[in-house]
Amino acid sequence: MSSITPISLPVPCIWSEHKKACDTHINKLTALFEQNPQYKYLYLGALSELCIETNIKRRKEVASYWLPYLYQQSGYTLTHFFKKWLTYTPTPSNPGEYIEYWDYLVNTETGLQLANQPPFKNWFKKFLDCHGKWINSTDSITTLPEWVKYTGTKEHPFDINNYELPDPKSPTGGFKSFNQFFLRNLKPNQRPEAEAPVIAPCDGGIFFLTQESQNVGKHQSYLLPNKSGDEFNLIEAIPGYGRLFVGGPLLDALLWFTDYHHFHAPVTGTVIEQGLYPGSYNYDFDDFDPNDPYGPLAPSNSDKAGWYQKLAKHQRYVWVIKTERLGLVAMVAIGFWGVGSITNAISTGEKIQSGQYMGHFGYGGSSIVLAFEPGKNLDFKVADKKIKGPDKPRLMKVRESLAAVKSGINH
């Protein structure tokens, strides 16, 4: 632990102690399909929908991956797929390999029908728990030497020297599981706290879902910028308090695998309401335009995706914070891409200081949404560069300045 990340790394487990139970759970998938014959045809229908896309350039690779499953070649069963995924340790070159393949398949018309069948949905959640045990096991360190040497990309920079290593001389950094590496602690001197009304709650690429609106009153949801009909339902996303934020600025920060996956308080105030809301574990990250799913892709550095229209449906943890200067501020930690947990470190009624540690995500894809009441005259910038829309996410580091009160405005 460190002064900025005041938790100990998770204690690793021994995979051999969990392997039998996890293998048994995966094998239950066969019985589940036998008990529910329609599941087979939903699965084959999903394969058919996806595999006809081999003639679409950007879908060719993933569609071709599933062809042996469609043809029912020996060894290519859904059980076989999940067994491979179970003990997959992420690599820098392809950190979301199996969840990515699965999301393409499950976000077909019939794939969604299968994924939403309660027995299958429960089986899948337990599978993610099993994969979480693998990620937290001492057997999951095989790719850590690659991560320790990895220097990231322009869109997703990474420097292992920013983090505390249990053993800097070890090829694995001294981490005893992949989960320990994923929840690595920052060195305190890497993230000094800025003096600002709002500071960054996490690392990641931040952008506006919507900026402040002049037409408040009638709308129950937000129409996202530059998209064809996608709506973010703020009333659902922040139960009870959502209406207060209608018309105010709404921002989202997406965390990549290389980012620090802990989050900190964006403002100083009192937590008056909080709660965990279960939701979906899948999303369609390639559906940029629901009316034309095979239309042009967004720019390569864009974080825009069709799953925004279901953002309020994902597993999320919501905090509502009462502040002196900004009224109420909501922070929503959203888990997807197989996130198994969102861990909260704050009590209801607790007074928090901006920059204070608030919790962390389990392994997977994640996002932090910030909602503000309208009329607070905030100027959102990162390193003096204005925050823009989903096509141009602005890289930020946790605890750096995110917003200032606009000049000439007194509060």
pLDDT surpasses 90 at 337: no
Is 209:252 a contact under the CB 8 Å cutoff? yes
- Domain annotation covers residue 59: yes
Instruction: Indicate whether 4 and 33 sit together in one domain.
Output: yes
Instruction: Indicate whether 279 and 323 sit together in one domain.
Output: yes
Residue 2 is predicted with a pLDDT of 73
- Domain annotation covers residue 207: yes
Number of domains composing the chain:
2
* Residue after which a domain boundary falls, among 157, 190, 223: 190
- Domain annotation covers residue 300: no
pTM of the predicted protein model: 0.85
Sheet with 262-264, side-by-side order of all strands: 262-264, 357-361, 342-344
List the one residue out of 282, 292, 280 whose CA is nearest residue 96: 282
Instruction: Indicate whether 271 and 355 sit together in one domain.
Output: yes
- Domain annotation covers residue 185: yes
Q: For residues 265 and 286, which has the higher predicted lDDT (pLDDT)?
A: 265
pLDDT surpasses 60 at 286: no
* Residue after which a domain boundary falls, among 132, 155, 190: 190
Instruction: Indicate whether 346 and 205 sit together in one domain.
Output: yes
Instruction: Indicate whether 397 and 345 sit together in one domain.
Output: yes
Is 297:318 a contact under the CB 8 Å cutoff? no
Instruction: Indicate whether 289 and 348 sit together in one domain.
Output: yes
- Domain annotation covers residue 301: no
Instruction: Indicate whether 182 and 205 sit together in one domain.
Output: no
Instruction: Indicate whether 241 and 373 sit together in one domain.
Output: yes
- Domain annotation covers residue 181: yes
The CATH number for 209's domain is: 2.70.70
- Domain annotation covers residue 299: no
pLDDT in tens, 179-228: 999 999 999 888 888 899 999 999 999 998 888 876 655 444 444 333 22
Instruction: Indicate whether 137 and 6 sit together in one domain.
Output: yes
Q: For residues 339 and 242, which has the higher predicted lDDT (pLDDT)?
A: 242
Range of the domain at 97: 1-190
Instruction: Indicate whether 228 and 157 sit together in one domain.
Output: no
Instruction: Indicate whether 256 and 318 sit together in one domain.
Output: yes
Mean pLDDT of 331-356: 86
pLDDT in tens, 217-269: 544 444 433 322 345 667 777 888 988 998 899 998 988 889 999 999 999 99
For residue 194, the Cα-to-chain-centroid distance in whole angstroms is 25
* Residue after which a domain boundary falls, among 136, 158, 190: 190
- Dist. CA 326–CA 66, nearest whole Å: 50
